[in-house]
Structure 1
Amino acid sequence: MRVAAGRGPALGSLRGQLLRWLLLPLFVLVGFDAVSVYRDALDAADMAYDRSLLASTRALAERVSVAGGKVVADVPYVALDSFETDTLGRLYYKVTGVNGEFVSGYGDLPPLPKNTVRSDAYPALVYFYYADYRGEEVRIAALYQPVYDDSMRGIALIQVGESREARRDLSRKILLDTLWRQAVLVLAAALLAWFAVRFVLRPLMRLKHQVEQRAPTDLDDFDPSLVHKEVQPLVVAMNGYMSRLQALIAGQRRFIADASHQLRTPLTVLKTQAELALRENDPQALRDIVEGIARTTDATVHLANRLLTLARAGHGAAAGELSYMSLVDVVRQAGLELAQQAVQKGIDLSLEGADEARVRGNALLLHEMVANLLDNAIRYTPPGGRVTLRVLNEAQAVLEVEDSGPGIAAAEREKVFAPFYRAALAQSINAEGTGLGLAIVRDIAAMHGASVRLLDGPNGKGLKVEVRFPALA
């Protein structure tokens, strides 16, 4: 399979790309959302556990009092048992007197760090901090509790620590619940996106089936309303391309029909002449017939070359071989090649105009265009006449081929560009013409973005062909 030049990497499935562009950002957003929800849940859990820890600390602080000039903690046995093993985790406590003396609890419970900031979430003088105790991390609430009686006044420090097992269990549960819900959400979104993409692409699939079921000769337009508004320009472009393709095929069929018709006559003449030569015994007559065969062969070769050039120009051949070149050099080369033909007829052939004029085009086709114009001018200019090649370098390069021949009537100037059409006066002057020269000129000019005009020669006599090229940037 032949592909266009400059083809990029394969794009893959449109459905796959749409799903990736829909789902990948969704996965990223869900990930961020899961992390955010998890952190918020942890903060909420920490706040709830801190409230419970503070409540335990306050309950213990209510049991602290002063008796006999000493701070005492009246903690019942049941309370001590609950501190040892709580349903939510292990609890530890410590009561410190007004002078820093140990009163009750776990004497090795880590002290309150000096730089700990008091919690503003509660009106009590409470501090929360983490510490390592007995090989595990604990969360400790430190509460300053005023104590007094008639013999003394001061502030006792009550500390209650809680292992983080319960918090970790709750964190894992929150994380798993969050991920599970997010996974269900992503799965549901993926299924909805898949069905949505499939539904949205259904018109394109219908268009695909229509294209596949089309016969090779069916170049009718597709209905743009069958697809979405965003895809309609593509369908319109396809229709435009098929219209151009249809015009190209029609032109090729017409060219083949015209070429076969034009070639049939000289080939028939050649066959007839060859049969006459086979039956002829007179050497002089046989020589005349062979000379006729040579002339017919020359005319047929000339016609075939013109047909090939016309097909090459009309097909946009070598469009990728365009380059910048001197129009003067192209014209001079064509003039040198046909100068002998002009000398044989006694025609004054000259080149005038600018010394330099640059155009962008295909050198071979431009040479063929100039040669066709010059050949026509020499053929239809009577002996002793004049043919002038002129190159002008104005805002754009201009080629003029001017002759002193009979010219072309104004009514026929547009018709002579049609392949095989010949003006009546041209047929009377040159019966062996092909009617392809100006058709070739126009096709080559159109390929180069140039325009062709047929004008009267000087003083209204003869013909001037003007080819005006587009200006270069």
Structure 2
Amino acid sequence: MHPPRPERSHFGIRARLLTLLLPGVLALLALDSWNDYRALRAIVEDAYDQSMLEPVNALGNSLSLAADGSIRVNTPFSVQAMFEATRPQHKYLYVGLTPLPDGPAGNTRSASEITLLGVPDLPRPPMQPGDNGPFVWYDAVYRDHPVRVVALHRTAIDGQARPYRVLIQAAEGTGPRLQAQADSLRQELLRDARMVGLVVLLVWLGVTWSLHPLERLRKSLLQSKGSDLKPLDTHGVPHEVAPLVDAVNQHIASYRDLLDRQSQFLADASHQLRTPLAIMLTQAGVALREQDPEQVRETLRAIVAQISRSRRLCEQLLSLAHASDTTSPADAPGVVDLNTVARDVVLQYLTLAHEKNQDLGWIDAREAPATTQVAAEGTPDDAFPPSSPAPVVPVLATGPELHEAIANLVHNAIVYTPSGGHITVMVSTRDGMALAEVHDDGPGIAMARRAEVFERFRQASRSAGKGPHGAGLGLSIARAYARRNGGDIELADIAAPGAGAGSGTTGLRAILRLPLAAGRQG
């Protein structure tokens, strides 16, 4: 059954970049296009307005007096033809005269306007020329069409010295200039659309090009075999992604190391279990062929003893697998009294020490340096004072794992200490650390071998080279549990008068060190 595929975000890098870039690019392009459009619109308006000034100026300059003294327009048709030569749609001219008051007495003549040229019903200017010049520009509607109109006011005197106000107008439909503005706006929008398309294309190609090394890594991972755990090649990987690839390589290295250790563990465990199974198979064959009931019972007792050793080996293998498992979460640690845990371990192994005629002693942390001994012959009622409500030596650890670590140290001491020997377990504090020590007066371990005895299936044979040997897992399990709870185990000599350090002949001290829980350090 395949594991469920994790949900993937469809909002990829390309979409993220475009989401970040496009609003800003569009806003900038919109602002730039609006400014360009306004500037171009002003240019178009000015160009069209300037073209309308030419016929107005020409008509103003063509005013003259006729033979009868009246005001007339010279060459009106040529001016009109010039005005209508370009863009003739909805273009109009007008020249009209309005008599002004005559004489100092204020005598007035008729104020009716005289049309000299063009259409007389063009919309009149809303105001008189002011400080901006003699021209007045305005927009109007003429014959149901919007027009742009320019008006010029002048004063003229006829041949009889009568004053007239001259109104010259030129009107042009706004269609051509609006069309020019629309064409300009359309060109601006097309240019902006091309710019946006180019930005999207560059982002797409840039992300694709940047992610190409990752695609190469993905293909190499898919093509690699499960057992071929090689680190990923970081060649060509962008430096922003390099930390991720390094982390993946570290994970691959740790996983490869885990697989190697598991493979070695299985190989060693198979080897350790194959020997007792072969022995039991041989013993069972002997029992089947044996005719003497007493010999059969003796063989069965040997098989039972072998089964007992095999069972302990299996239990140790399970404990070692649990202590060395870094992939599964450990139980939540709590404040544990190291003094109580060590005391319980001593009580547990009193019977085993009694069977080997060994003196298993206990030094309570509250009584150090005084020693309360528990002899092999019995257990006094007052040998272990009742536990106090508050922890004596508090450590932050998992209680069962701490118990297993100390138990393996005590069991190892019982196995290698000869009959009549002494084993002492004590708990103390020093320099912010909690110490649980197991002392024995056995042959000890040579200094050169103290590092390797913590390896799996390395039997902790003492310097004398005598005595029974286990599977070589006790110290490995103890150290694994110690490190799992933030501590460690070290081996040292028990100093004796005249004996040099590291001689390996003065017994052995197995020391479990753990940090004191907060509030008890110092």
Q: TM-score normalised by the shorter chain: which range applies?
A: 0.7 to 0.9
CA contact (8 A) 2:339 2:392 kept: no
Q: How many residues align?
A: 462
Where is the helix percentage greater, Structure 1 or Structure 2?
1
- 1:336–1:47 distance in 2 versus 1, CA, 3 Å: same
Q: Which amino acid aligns with 1:315?
A: D
1:258 Cα offset (Å): 1.0
Matches of 1:436 and 1:297, distance apart in 2: 17
Q: 2:481 aligns with which of 419, 444, 448?
A: 444
Matches of 2:145 and 2:403, distance apart in 1: 95
- 1:366–1:337 distance in 2 versus 1, CA, 3 Å: closer
RMSD (CA atoms): 4.5
- 1:364–1:64 distance in 2 versus 1, CA, 3 Å: farther
CA contact (8 A) 2:425 2:437 kept: yes
Q: Which amino acid aligns with 2:347?
A: A
CA contact (8 A) 1:380 1:426 kept: no
Matches of 2:339 and 2:130, distance apart in 1: 96
CA contact (8 A) 1:144 1:157 kept: yes
- 1:451–1:164 distance in 2 versus 1, CA, 3 Å: farther
- 1:334–1:178 distance in 2 versus 1, CA, 3 Å: same
- Asked if 1:323 is matched to 2:332, the reply is yes
- 1:142–1:241 distance in 2 versus 1, CA, 3 Å: same
User: 3-state SS of the aligned residue for 1:347?
Assistant: strand
Matches of 2:58 and 2:487, distance apart in 1: 102
Match of 1:43 in 2: 42
CA contact (8 A) 1:348 1:384 kept: no
Q: 1:140 aligns with which of 124, 137, 149?
A: 149
- 1:267–1:103 distance in 2 versus 1, CA, 3 Å: farther
Match of 1:466 in 2: 512
Q: Which amino acid aligns with 2:411?
A: D
1:463 Cα offset (Å): 0.5
1:266 Cα offset (Å): 1.8
Matches of 2:148 and 2:516, distance apart in 1: 86
- 1:387–1:36 distance in 2 versus 1, CA, 3 Å: farther
CA contact (8 A) 1:203 1:227 kept: yes
Q: Which amino acid aligns with 2:407?
A: A
What are the ranges of 5 or more consecutive residues in structure 2 without an aligned counterpart? 101-110, 354-358, 367-390, 497-505
The C-alpha deviation readout for 1:144-177, integer Å capped at 9, x for no partner, is 4454578466875655443321122112222233
User: 3-state SS of the aligned residue for 1:46?
Assistant: helix
Q: Which amino acid aligns with 1:38?
A: Y
- 1:137–1:468 distance in 2 versus 1, CA, 3 Å: farther
- Asked if 1:375 is matched to 2:383, the reply is no
Answer with 398-407 or 372-381: which moved more. Answer: 372-381
Matches of 1:263 and 1:441, distance apart in 2: 21
Give runs of aligned pairs for residues 44-443 of structure 1, distance below 5 A.
44-62=43-61, 76=76, 87=87, 89-92=89-92, 97=98, 104=115, 105-107=119-121, 109=123, 111-112=125-126, 124-145=133-154, 147=156, 151=161, 158-184=168-194, 187=197, 198-199=208-209, 201-280=211-290, 282-319=292-329, 321=330, 323-328=332-337, 332-333=340-341, 335-336=343-344, 339-342=347-350, 345=353, 346-352=359-365, 355=392, 357-359=394-396, 364-380=400-416, 385-390=422-427, 392=429, 395=432, 397-406=433-442, 407-425=444-462, 431-443=468-480
1:242 Cα offset (Å): 3.1
Answer with 54-63 or 377-386: which moved more. Answer: 377-386
Percent of pairs with identical residues: 28
Matches of 1:212 and 1:324, distance apart in 2: 39
* TM-score between both structures, scaled by the size of structure 2: 0.71
User: 3-state SS of the aligned residue for 1:216?
Assistant: coil
Query: Which of the pair has more CA radius of gyration?
Result: 2
CA contact (8 A) 1:450 1:470 kept: no
CA contact (8 A) 2:127 2:136 kept: no
Matches of 1:355 and 1:144, distance apart in 2: 113
The C-alpha deviation readout for 1:28-63, integer Å capped at 9, x for no partner, is 655554444333322221221222233344344445
CA contact (8 A) 2:409 2:438 kept: no
Matches of 1:154 and 1:456, distance apart in 2: 133
The C-alpha deviation readout for 1:305-361, integer Å capped at 9, x for no partner, is 211222222231433x45341131x663464255132255352234426635342x5
Q: Which amino acid aligns with 1:412?
A: R
- 1:322–1:126 distance in 2 versus 1, CA, 3 Å: farther
User: 3-state SS of the aligned residue for 2:424?
Assistant: strand
Matches of 2:153 and 2:453, distance apart in 1: 114
Q: Which amino acid aligns with 1:465?
A: I
CA contact (8 A) 2:459 2:469 kept: no
CA contact (8 A) 1:405 1:461 kept: yes
Matches of 2:131 and 2:317, distance apart in 1: 101
